[in-house]
Structure 1
């Protein structure tokens, strides 16, 4: 089943990839082979090392059945000090 996890940091990306890989019962080497990337890439990805190769990251996520999506970030002025969305900006 394809899911759409919320990924907003490299730390979260590392968690999502590692969790999905474990759920599939795959080693890092197996995921790397299936995604067409090197095992070191998977190790670095799960280790939260900064990566600029977005195409490879997307290949790994697709291999795991994950389909992330971009969500626009609301500007700070739309929120109260407590982090709640101000009334005038609610849908």
Structure 2
């Protein structure tokens, strides 16, 4: 099953990322360990804490009429390690479709 949401602010991005984390069965601390960062950092992202980067990013998105959408794919079962496909950088470019 997939869930999609339009991302319009750091707050909406944080909510989607929190949902994705929860669907994977991870606590904020679990995800922080996987990312090599602190639980506080994960909390700040999920809370939509503004930063100069996110403020400029969403201003850019609004100004150019761009729509940013996130899709969460519900995992079959929680995982503890990323699969090779998940750890590879996404090389899809604008205009390409996945399918």
Q: Which has the larger radius of gyration?
A: 1
Higher helix fraction (1 or 2): 1
Q: Report 1 or 2 for greater relative contact order, CA contacts < 8 Å, sequence distance ≥ 6.
A: 2
Higher strand fraction (1 or 2): 2
